Amino acid sequence: MAPIDTVHFVAQYPIQCADEASVTALESPFKLGPLDELVLPFVPIQTLFVYRNLASSPERKIFDIERLPKALSYLLNYYPHLTGRLQINSETHTPEITSIGKGTELREASCNLRLDDFIPSDRASHSLLVTDLPDCGTALLAPFDPSIEGVCRDPILAIQHTRFACGGVVLGTRLHHIVCDSGGFFQLVRDLAETYRGLASSPHPTLACPPVIRSYLSDLSVLSPQGKQEALDYKPTAYTLAASNQEPAASKAVEHGKPIESVPSTQTAKPPVTGRVLRFTGSQLRDLKQLANDPSGKGWVSTFEALSAYFYQRVYRARHQLLVSQGDSPTEAANKTCRGLFASINMRDASRLNLGPNYFPNAIYPCCANFSHELLADS
């Protein structure tokens, strides 16, 4: 892993909306929706975008740091709620956004090494992995405090622009997951690219397709009384609702004012987790998605859903094969191997919630499923 001290902080720029009216037109607090509330507030979405300098001279400046703040401020005209801060409502205990207009964060940094310096010399593909970068890439992102105090205090959106000795740039982008899912995140990044390119021909760039930033069912008044009751009656498979008078688990550790003696654990130490990086090209992902979708065109499966199902089946087969190699019969191995799948389903499509292609907030629903051994092993 590359040392963290190769990255040096240069400057920090507070970014506001280019048009103040976009902030004043937004109510505060800005309500999130039920699909947003399925995400824990301290979970971020963070991605590193690597731009190589293909010119012969490293002095050629690609991805100009002077243009980026302007592009970001015009982008925020369409996402003004991202200039606020997350808070947990003290009465309803639901997340919402307040202090709209406080701004987002743009950091400038530099690295005295070339991007190619991070690639091991014995790697045949000569490709750059995120684990090669300083601190596994964390040094190329703005600092993050995952405590509830930190996520409510710090900007919802933070970007770090790091220029390398070769002239290449890594754009580290972090966004609170509670305001959007991966589909919304990459939509935001594409919109930033559009405003950045737009500054080359216009001092006031605009987006051709503005985003939808209000969350599905953030305003429950749109539901009829019957619709509200149907929602309350629905029993999801992945979640349960605890009664308000139920004792918290922590309070059960005390009985009549005396601590209950802890029971010694009989569990043996588990082996350490070893990470692996699996690379999928765009064409491989397209082929996987095509295999997962019905050839007749009925229904729809997203790329992420197809990839999740692929991993699920491959992991099941590997675990089953391991038990068989250790002496279990195929039937015994199948009975010991978990067949449950916990996956995220994208609800944007017209055949689902029909939220539209430019819907920015979270639109994923976590579902549970359990499939037969025959389906997983042989299909």
Q: Which domains does the chain have, with CATH numbers?
A: 4-219 (3.30.559.10), 281-378 (no CATH)
Distance separating alpha carbons of residues 101 and 84, to the nearest angstrom: 6
Cis preceding linkage at 29, omega within 30: yes
44-51 vs 169-176, strand pairing mode: antiparallel
Distance of CA 59 to CAs 54, 56, 300, Å?
Answer: 11, 9, 47
* CA-closest candidate to residue 323, choices 334, 314, 310: 334
Give residue 119's pLDDT: 93
What are the E-state strand segments in 52-103? 85-88, 95-98
Sequence-distant (6+) residues with CB within 8 A of 328 are: 336
Distance between CA atoms of 165 and 173, rounded to whole angstroms? 21
Residue (of 306, 279, 278) closest to 290 by Cα position: 306
Predicted confidence at residue 104, as pLDDT, reads: 97
pLDDT at site 184: 97
The one-digit pLDDT tens for each residue of the chain (379 residues) are 566 689 999 999 999 999 999 999 999 999 999 999 999 999 999 999 999 998 777 667 788 899 999 999 999 999 999 999 999 999 989 999 999 999 999 999 999 999 999 999 888 888 899 999 999 999 999 999 999 999 999 999 999 999 999 999 999 999 999 999 999 999 999 999 999 999 999 999 999 999 999 999 998 888 899 998 998 888 876 677 676 655 444 444 333 444 444 445 566 788 888 888 888 989 999 999 999 999 888 888 889 999 999 999 999 999 999 999 999 999 999 999 999 888 888 999 888 999 998 999 999 988 888 899 999 998 8
pLDDT of res. 236: 75
Local structure of 23: helix, strand or coil: helix
Q: Is 252 helix (H, G, I), strand (E, B) or coil?
A: helix
Q: What pLDDT score does 254 carry?
A: 38
Question: Which runs of E-coded beta strand occur in 52-125?
Answer: 85-88, 95-98, 104-111
Cα 319 to Cα 77, 322, 325, distances in angstroms:
50, 5, 10
pLDDT at position 367:
84
Separation between Cα atoms, residue 64 and residue 71, nearest integer Å: 11
Tell me what pLDDT residue 320 has.
Answer: 96
Q: What is the dihedral of CA 266, 267, 268, 269, to 10 degrees?
A: -130
Query: Using CA atoms, how far apart are residues 215 and 359, in angstroms rounded to an integer?
Result: 8
For the record, the structure tokens of 236 come out as 């999801």
Can you give the pLDDT at residue 138? Answer: 95
Extended strands (E) in the chain: 7-15, 30-31, 44-51, 85-88, 95-98, 104-111, 157-163, 169-176, 254-255, 258-259, 340-346, 364-370
pLDDT reported for residue 318: 95
Strand partners, 104: 15
Give the per-residue pLDDT at 259. Answer: 44
> At 306, which amino acid appears?
A
Residues 304, 344: contact at Cβ < 8 Å?
Answer: yes
